[in-house]
Structure 1
Amino acid sequence: MSEHVEGSVSFEVSDFVATVTLNRPTKLNAMTPMMAAQVVEYMKRCNEDDAIRAVVLTGAGPKSFCAGSDIGTLDDYTTPWNFRNRPDYCDAVRGLLKPSIAAINGYAFGGGLETSLSCDIRIASANAQFAAPEIKLGWIGGGGMAAFLVNSIGASNAALMLMTGDPIDAERALQWGLISEVVESAEQVLPRAQDVARTIAQRAPIAAETAKSNLHAAFNMPLENAIQYERDLQTICFATDDAREGRAAFKEKRQPVFSRK
Structure 2
Amino acid sequence: MSEENILYRVEDGIAYLTINRPEKMNAITAAMGSRIAQLCREIDIDDTVKVLIIDGAGERAFAAGSDVNMLDDLGTPWDGRNRAQYDRDYVEPIQRMRKPVIAAIDGYCLGGGLEVAMMCDIRVATPRSTFGAPEVQRGWHAGAGNTSVLPRMIGFGNAALWILTGDKFPAEEAYRVGFVQRLVEVDDLMPTAKAIAVRLAKNPPIAVQSAKNVIKRSQGTSLEQGLSMENDGYTLCMMTEDAQEGMAAFGEKREPVFRGR
Q: Which residue of 1 aligns with 2:257?
A: 257
Q: Which residue of 1 aligns with 2:146?
A: 145
Tell me the amino acid that sits aligned with residue 217 of structure 2.
A
Asked whether the equivalents of residues 133 and 166 of structure 2 are also in contact (C-alpha less than 8 Å), the reply is yes
SS in 2 for 1:65: strand
Between 1:151-160 and 1:235-244, the stretch displaced more is 151-160
Q: Give the gaps of 5 or more residues in structure 2.
A: none
Partners of 1:189 and 1:4 in 2: CA distance? 24
Determine whether 1:121 maps to 2:122: yes
Q: Which residue of 2 aligns with 1:92?
A: 93
Between 1:242-251 and 1:36-45, the stretch displaced more is 242-251
Tell me the amino acid that sits aligned with residue 39 of structure 1.
I
Q: TM-score of the superposition, structure 1-length normalised?
A: 0.94
Partners of 2:130 and 2:183 in 1: CA distance? 12
Q: Please give the residue correspondences for 1:230-241 in structure 2 after superposition, counting only pairs within 5 Å.
A: 230-241=230-241
1:4 Cα deviation from its structure 2 partner: 7.8
SS in 1 for 2:219: helix
Q: Which residue of 1 aligns with 2:102?
A: 101
Q: Please give the residue correspondences for 1:220-235 in structure 2 after superposition, counting only pairs within 5 Å.
A: 220-235=220-235
Tell me the amino acid that sits aligned with residue 236 of structure 2.
I
Partners of 2:246 and 2:20 in 1: CA distance? 40
Q: Which residue of 1 aligns with 2:30?
A: 33
Tell me the amino acid that sits aligned with residue 38 of structure 1.
R
Q: Please give the residue correspondences for 1:1-261 in structure 2 after superposition, counting only pairs within 5 Å.
A: 5=4, 8-79=5-76, 80=79, 81-86=81-86, 88-185=89-186, 187-261=187-261
Partners of 1:27 and 1:153 in 2: CA distance? 29
Partners of 1:96 and 1:205 in 2: CA distance? 13
Asked whether the equivalents of residues 218 and 229 of structure 2 are also in contact (C-alpha less than 8 Å), the reply is no
Q: Give the gaps of 5 or more residues in structure 1.
A: none
SS in 2 for 1:41: helix
- Equivalenced residues, count: 257
Partners of 1:180 and 1:42 in 2: CA distance? 25
CA change 1:68–1:203 in 2 (3 A) is: same
SS in 2 for 1:219: coil
Tell me the amino acid that sits aligned with residue 149 of structure 2.
F
SS in 2 for 1:220: coil
Tell me the amino acid that sits aligned with residue 16 of structure 1.
G
Partners of 1:72 and 1:125 in 2: CA distance? 28
Tell me the amino acid that sits aligned with residue 180 of structure 2.
I
1:133 Cα deviation from its structure 2 partner: 0.2
Tell me the amino acid that sits aligned with residue 132 of structure 2.
A
Asked whether the equivalents of residues 9 and 21 of structure 1 are also in contact (C-alpha less than 8 Å), the reply is yes
Partners of 1:101 and 1:76 in 2: CA distance? 31
- 1:132-166 Cα offsets, whole Å, 9 max, x none, are 00011111001110122211211111111111100
1:84 Cα deviation from its structure 2 partner: 4.2
Q: Percent identity?
A: 39
Q: TM-score of the superposition, structure 2-length normalised?
A: 0.94
SS in 1 for 2:218: helix
Partners of 1:92 and 1:190 in 2: CA distance? 23
Partners of 2:89 and 2:95 in 1: CA distance? 10
Partners of 1:169 and 1:84 in 2: CA distance? 26
CA change 1:68–1:120 in 2 (3 A) is: same
Asked whether the equivalents of residues 54 and 100 of structure 1 are also in contact (C-alpha less than 8 Å), the reply is yes
Tell me the amino acid that sits aligned with residue 36 of structure 1.
G
